[in-house]
Amino acid sequence: MRLVRNNGYVKTRSRLARLMAIGGFFLMMAAIASGFFVPALLIPSYVVLFIGFISFNVGMPQTTKWGRHPRPDEILDDTLRRLNDRYTLIHFPTAGKGNPEHVLVYPGGLVVITTREVQGRITVDGNKWRKPGGRILSFIGMAGPQLGNPTTENERDQDLLRSILTGRGLPGEDAIDGIIVFLNPKADLQVGTTDLSVVVTSELLQSVRDLSSETVLTSKDRDAIIAALSEGENVEGPVSLPSRPSGNKRATAT
């Protein structure tokens, strides 16, 4: 499999997440101190406390997502590395307004991959997702990675990708599919009726292999699409990823 990664995007998101978490923490501390020592500022202190709380609780999960290893994109690399070089996995393309995080380009078209790191029991029926107790834990900031609505996110990202292709005059806008993958090994999926493939990490490779074998995009078409989705500063690739990791460590493209 070939790999493209927008390392500049990763660094920017990591830096922003740290700023939000640290800034939120200091806002909360400042609000508590001012409310205690200056009673006249009690009401403004509550406002600042609320802003700091939101910033901290948004920034901390993002800091974990972008700062640890393996990141979601690195897990996808290891999971799909056994695919041949007709498949190219692009992480964080920035060719248009907004961007899908992960796009797989192959002869049969393009696949938008949406990841989640949620654990526990998760149910989906149509575009309705549910995690028992998730709303309560989310409200008090103890839920960890959030479930949200992966279906809505994936469909939105498909539309973004379609608009990029159309705007560039590139083929493939009618051959876009979506997969939702849960990366946490403790995820327990209960999948009802759904228009998208919903899998855990161990099922992802086979799910990709089960995609249409019809050739929709020629090698020239794929190269043009990959070039358009690989724009930006500090973009790595496309490079061929070894089909097996080196030893017990995750292989890195060079």
> Would you state the pLDDT for residue 133?
65
CB 113 within 8 A of CB 186: no
Q: Is the dihedral of CA 192, 124, 197, 167 positive or negative?
A: positive
Distances (CA, A) of 112 to 4, 31, 53, 54, 98: 14, 42, 33, 29, 14
Report which secondary-structure segment, H or E, holds 89.
strand 88-91
Report which secondary-structure segment, H or E, holds 125.
strand 120-125
Query: Mean pLDDT in runs of 10 for the chain (254 residues)?
Result: 92 88 92 85 88 89 82 94 95 78 96 93 91 59 72 94 93 94 92 90 94 90 94 88 67 38
> Would you state the pLDDT for residue 251?
41
> Would you state the pLDDT for residue 156?
94
> Would you state the pLDDT for residue 179?
96
> Would you state the pLDDT for residue 142?
47
